[in-house]
Structure 1
Amino acid sequence: MELLRALIVDQAYPEPGEQARVVSMNQGCNDIRLSRPQISSDGSLLRFQTDISLYWGTPIAGRCLAPMGWQGSVVLLQQPAIDRHWQLRFQTHDSALLDRSGRAVPLVELLYNLIKEHVHSYLGRITLNLAPPVGDLKQFLLSQAIDDGSSSTEQILDSIYPDRPVLSPTDLRVDILAQVDHPPAAPTGEPAEDGISEEAQAKIIALWKSWDAMLVHLIDRLSEKPLSLADRHLLLDSMLTVRYEFEDALTNNHLTDRFVRDQFMQTWQVLRPLFRRHLDPGDSNNLLGYLSFFTAADALSGIDQIGPLLGVEISRAGFYRLALMLSNETLNEGEGVDPRLRRVLGLDDTLPVPPAPPATPEPDQLFPTDPAAPEPPPSEPPDASWLRHGAGLLQRTTALLFTIRAAHAALPGMNEIREWTAGIVSAEQLLPKVHKVVQEATRSQQAKITVTNLNPDWFSRMMHATAWQESCFRQFVVKDNKIVYLLSYNNTSVGIMQINEKVWRGIYDMQELRWNIRYNSLAGAEILSLYLNRYIAPKRTAFSGEGGGDERFLAGWLYSLYNGGPRQLDKFPSRYTTNELYRSDELFLEKFDKTNGSSWLTTVDCLPAL
């Protein structure tokens, strides 16, 4: 209803403050103004209410005789109707006058006739042209057409026409109908028994990156909206679920050509009500663009129903076209920090980058910079044949020793990196330094933790046990006689806290995560704090009788989310109470137990010997 109201205001209330001057004659002697339109449903009719200010007299010889003034509101009950040319109009069936307190006004013939003659006719001329968003929908679906079915798709889309408008308490819906004689065949979407080809997988990965960028693009649009904590939690949970599911499918070679389609449909159904509540055009010039967006997104989410009918499928070009319906910003698939995304999730706009001692590498220590970020695709995904079963996403970074970029002037130099490299610096020297960095990161989040009745050193123990479990306190290692940042076995997570670069894209600076141990530690602390406050704190009391008050249980629970994402929220308590912990759970809890004391650093024996 909000979008419908905005479209009506844009057409019929052009003056500042949502006002309309219906009559203005005879030097103000005859004046009728409308303001504050309100729209709702009343059964099968649209209830249109607007404030009215009326001043009416008889102009004679430059004077206004016997003027009558009245202020109140008029209520029209209207029947929406749409023709084959997509012109939406509203026919008035009944009306009433209300005084300023909202009470019905007894019929006054002169007053009613004036309002009926001028106001009814003015509002009755409102016509919303829905042909542009319908045209956008056609072009959008054509851009998703499978090559060999595009002519059939175009023929079907040319036949579309509107169904009768239907009102609900929250929406005015106009279904789009089409004439189909012989639906075109569509691919089955089932992968071969021995899995999909490397080329097909590369295309799915590229498509997923565009879908992930589309989700972030939508979340960014809400950065200035008055979101509730529940709204922010839903957005965070949806984004993390999308990313963890992708990582899991990629790591276990479970990607299929339906993966992105299914993720989009499921996520859109969850988030659509939130976006409908909070997304607004902001600029009246883009009202129809917003209507186009929701129409196209709803059509895309029903791809399983309309896909075989129209011969269409989700594509990267489709996501880019969707984004442009909302704003003139294209999708961003890069690695940079997105302050708007952090703001929506309830974080500070940026995570401060701790200064590193200046050090300039010698010329023979410089290595090539990372490849430039790919340009946004025009209509077809760019060649991504270098991806191999997902490992290639980050494989290129393992051969880099150092990266010089003007945007990262604070990154440590080679001398600094050597001082934090396991295998070059002894454990006796490295561990106290790393302990200090982890303690600093702990203090950065200590005051933000909302879970009460914890021992003062609990979060510090949590941080140290996590760094121990994830990396054995290593940010850099020696590999093939080169210093490289620590990279996980599946090439997804980096540094001392093993921050997953796909999961936390846009939230953290990837170069800083790789080359700055202080920044990596701060990011790990922020993630632990986020999971603790947003996920565990609201559910902690539900498990109070099953170890929920036990700080050891709480530490294991939090680590399971840090390691496996939101899906572990209910799974870990079940494992803990049935004594069926994963091996990773057990290893972490062993380390958490050891951190209880002052001399536990002497028990760390996983660092390489010199």
Structure 2
Amino acid sequence: MRINRHYPPSNTALRRFPSFDQCSHWLAIALGFALMLMSAGASADPNATLGAENGADSKQVAIPIRLDYPLLRQLLVAQMFVEAGESREVLNDPTGCSTIVLSKPALASADSQLELLADLQASIGIGGGGSCAGLLDWQGRMGISGIPEIRGNGKALGFKPDRVWLLDHTDQPIENATLLSLAEAGVRNIFSELIIDLTPQLNSVGDFLPAVLPQHSRHQVEALVRTLQVSRLQATEDTLDAEITFTVEPIAEPLLPEQALSEEEYALWEERWQLMDSLLVLTVKHYAAATSLQSIRDALLDSLIESRYRLRDALVETPTAGADPVRDWFLQSWETLVPSIRLIGLEQPGQEQLLLLSVIAATDALSALDQLGPSIGLDISADGLRRLARMIIGDDGNELLNYSEDVDPQLRRLFEDSLGSTPPPSAWRLSISLFPEAMADTTGRLNSWAPKKQDLAEYLPLVAQLLKRSAKNVASERGLEDKYHTLFRNMVLTTAWQESCWRHYVVSDDRKRVPLRSGTGDVGLMQVNERVWRGFYDQHRLRWDIDYNSAAGAEVLVDYLIKYAIRKGEHQQPGGITNLARASYSAYNGGPSKLSRYRSKKASAYGNKVDALFWDKYQQVAAGNELAVSGCLGGDLTGSATAMTPAARKTEAAKASAQFTVQLAAFTTEASALAFIRQQALDDDARVRRVVKDGTERFLVLVGNYTTREQAVSASQRFHTHNAWIRKLDGL
């Protein structure tokens, strides 16, 4: 962006200000994004009639540019009010006897014009013979309004001065013709000689177009560039609005019907969405590093995580030749970054805010571009994404734009800082060597265990121990208040139950032990989504280290608990403190925006079902019945895993592996069966099993669990007076 400005003719030399050449590529970014994404749409007039070189069917596209007044003020100060105290001398008296200085400018709008108000300090005198005779010392305010106008054949912005006025220290208008006449010429120059020339940027976009318009000829691309211009300036209450317009020809070839992608096309599509995700990560890290405000850094991180959840859902759809399921995701993701980038622009001193201005404009343009049909034939190509990365970061952008499964230190730091805590470096690189030998042995066993039904009595207490340890460690590292520790422990146990039935490994069809994985990329004990949390966690360890997966899931949960559920007061809603668990899981399952899904009347049927299932499990865990998790693995354990003694585990393991039992009697009521057990003094051995056959209910008295028929027959000898019957358990 090139700024042309001149001081009043009385200045003896043209003062030079910092060059804006380094900012010149940023408008190209804005236009690059706009043009790259134009297949999603823009405000267009299909009936527009344009020049012959563009063809009768060409469309005019308008991209909105919004300049916030605080940002304009920063630009004004950086360019025009560069003296001490944000001041500018508007009267240059060769004798040195008179000075008029404006300072502390403010911008606003009134009647569709831009108004500049500034403090004014005047000292008027008459000089001669080396001396000055003072006539007037006055302090107050001066205002000037300007009409926005397009200049330079549609390639630049400017302002036409209109009315100038004076205000006293109480902001009441005053009349002082002498003072006004002395100051007015210099003040008008502030508006009239400020030119924002966009020609270099409008021309430079031509180098980018071939990468995003593969179906247009070079002649068509060059014709498009020639039509780029600024139009429709308007000063609104909060912003100075403009439009960058251009015309574009639809592609000559008719659109093909949607069809399944070939294997090669699918590979290119997958590369493209991975680059889109990488570009968002690159942008978030870049702007997070540009601000010192933690609130903005948090907002950038939230936008990235939320976009990742939407990407997870978008990738479930199968792409076709005519529809890209991640297009809307990419556009929406950029829109969510707009508020944070605006704030960063206002925060930056000097020229830096100009570097963000074009990106703000680009993201503001996305909603308009989303309306243009696919007939333009633009392509969000991998090459185009790499070019944009270089525009944002510089020449290193292409190298940084990669889709890696490694932990990204910058993302980790953003994640850790979001809670205001600084965990030790080992906190997210959990190693079994950090734990006592017995605990390391337990983790090692679980890391090679795809449990069967007969394993549950031994397996589940070990998993419970692991989950409780993860909850305790993460709660301590993240500074969770003690009063929430029990609730958080129950959350971790319940989430693992809901997500995986406490499994990390399963046996595949080819009899190999593999990590439990969902169709959307969730993996392991806590079903941590690899796409959502790419860069935050080691992907390999999420798959092959149950301890690491447990800690990662607990860390995500505590983030949602502290930063979202507690800070946003979910426990103050009807239902009280347990709402924190329900809200945190809604976010864990659906993303930060789904925090209140569990209590929303507008939630989807799927969301309602998932949250209801979680709540049912949570209540069982909170009541000390976490071993009810065995039910989803074919078991029937109950109670607390901690309270289960080694002897009880052995008994339950025997029951789980048993195939036969001994039936002593059958009754029509449960009371009769229990009375029989008491009469025969079988309280320690017998149990009652209810069965229904042909609509008839019976209550069986059973004794023992045996892996073979021979064992059952041998055991039944002690009950020879009861007509004992050997029964197969799977037949009951």
After TM superposition, the score normalised by the length of structure 1 is: 0.72
Is the 8 Å Cα contact of residues 250 and 375 (structure 2) preserved in structure 1? yes
**1:152 equivalenced with 2:181 (yes/no):** no
- The residue number in structure 1 matching 2:678 is none
Paired with 2:418 and 2:382, the residues of 1 have a C-alpha distance of: 26
**2:489 aligned residue (460, 471, 487):** 460
Q: CA deviation at 1:488?
A: 0.9
Is the 8 Å Cα contact of residues 141 and 312 (structure 1) preserved in structure 2? no
**1:353 aligned residue (426, 429, 436):** 426
Is the 8 Å Cα contact of residues 205 and 225 (structure 2) preserved in structure 1? no
Greater C-alpha Rg? 2
**1:174 aligned residue (242, 246, 252):** 242
Q: 1:48 to 1:557 in 2, by over 3 A?
A: closer
Paired with 2:594 and 2:193, the residues of 1 have a C-alpha distance of: 57
**1:191 equivalenced with 2:243 (yes/no):** no
Q: CA deviation at 1:578?
A: 12
SS at match of 1:70: strand
- The residue number in structure 1 matching 2:589 is 563
Q: CA deviation at 1:280?
A: 4.3
- The residue number in structure 2 matching 1:10 is 78
* 1:497-542 C-alpha deviation (Å, 9 max, x unpaired): 2211211224334455445555433332232234345665658589
Paired with 1:577 and 1:166, the residues of 2 have a C-alpha distance of: 40
**1:259 equivalenced with 2:347 (yes/no):** no
Is the 8 Å Cα contact of residues 152 and 310 (structure 1) preserved in structure 2? no
**2:177 aligned residue (109, 112, 121):** 109
For the aligned residues, what is the CA RMSD? 4.7
- The residue number in structure 1 matching 2:147 is 79
Partner letter of residue 262 of structure 2? S
Q: 1:45 to 1:324 in 2, by over 3 A?
A: farther
- The residue number in structure 2 matching 1:524 is 553
Q: 1:581 to 1:313 in 2, by over 3 A?
A: closer
Q: CA deviation at 1:572?
A: 4.8
Is the 8 Å Cα contact of residues 213 and 377 (structure 2) preserved in structure 1? yes
* 1:30-87 C-alpha deviation (Å, 9 max, x unpaired): 4443332221111221111223333343333433332643333321111111221523
Equivalences for residues 271-286 of structure 1 within 5 A? 271-280=337-346, 282=348, 284-286=350-352
Q: CA deviation at 1:463?
A: 0.8
Q: 1:576 to 1:138 in 2, by over 3 A?
A: closer
**Larger CA deviation: 566-575 vs 491-500:** 566-575
Q: CA deviation at 1:162?
A: 2.6
**1:201 equivalenced with 2:266 (yes/no):** yes
Partner letter of residue 423 of structure 1? W
**1:246 aligned residue (311, 315, 319):** 311
* 1:534-586 C-alpha deviation (Å, 9 max, x unpaired): 66565858973xxx4594x8756644542344576566557999999988667
Q: CA deviation at 1:434?
A: 4.4
Q: 1:308 to 1:574 in 2, by over 3 A?
A: closer
Paired with 1:251 and 1:577, the residues of 2 have a C-alpha distance of: 20
Paired with 2:606 and 2:192, the residues of 1 have a C-alpha distance of: 69
- The residue number in structure 1 matching 2:19 is none
Q: 1:439 to 1:14 in 2, by over 3 A?
A: same
Paired with 1:323 and 1:17, the residues of 2 have a C-alpha distance of: 38
- The residue number in structure 2 matching 1:215 is 280
* 1:126-170 C-alpha deviation (Å, 9 max, x unpaired): 222222333355544453212344531321221233324222112
**1:342 equivalenced with 2:415 (yes/no):** yes
Partner letter of residue 380 of structure 2? I
Is the 8 Å Cα contact of residues 234 and 241 (structure 2) preserved in structure 1? yes
Partner letter of residue 265 of structure 1? L
Q: 1:513 to 1:24 in 2, by over 3 A?
A: farther
Paired with 1:316 and 1:188, the residues of 2 have a C-alpha distance of: 22
**1:418 equivalenced with 2:444 (yes/no):** yes
Paired with 1:489 and 1:201, the residues of 2 have a C-alpha distance of: 21
Is the 8 Å Cα contact of residues 495 and 513 (structure 1) preserved in structure 2? yes
Paired with 2:105 and 2:607, the residues of 1 have a C-alpha distance of: 60
What is the total number of aligned residue pairs between the two structures?
Answer: 545
Paired with 1:535 and 1:190, the residues of 2 have a C-alpha distance of: 45
* 1:321-357 C-alpha deviation (Å, 9 max, x unpaired): 4455555473644341414642785565668533535
Partner letter of residue 103 of structure 1? Q
SS at match of 1:147: coil
Q: Percent of pairs identical after alignment?
A: 30
Paired with 1:306 and 1:149, the residues of 2 have a C-alpha distance of: 20
Is the 8 Å Cα contact of residues 150 and 230 (structure 2) preserved in structure 1? yes
Q: 1:43 to 1:491 in 2, by over 3 A?
A: closer
Q: CA deviation at 1:489?
A: 3.7
**1:496 equivalenced with 2:525 (yes/no):** yes
**Larger CA deviation: 446-455 vs 504-513:** 446-455
Q: Which has the higher strand share?
A: 2
Q: 1:433 to 1:302 in 2, by over 3 A?
A: same
Partner letter of residue 96 of structure 1? W
Q: 1:85 to 1:534 in 2, by over 3 A?
A: same
Q: CA deviation at 1:311?
A: 4.3
**1:143 aligned residue (207, 211, 233):** 211
Equivalences for residues 582-597 of structure 1 within 5 A? 588=614, 591-596=617-622
SS at match of 1:526: helix
Q: CA deviation at 1:450?
A: 12
Is the 8 Å Cα contact of residues 154 and 231 (structure 2) preserved in structure 1? no
SS at match of 1:89: strand
Paired with 1:448 and 1:17, the residues of 2 have a C-alpha distance of: 46
Is the 8 Å Cα contact of residues 281 and 290 (structure 1) preserved in structure 2? no
Is the 8 Å Cα contact of residues 470 and 498 (structure 1) preserved in structure 2? yes
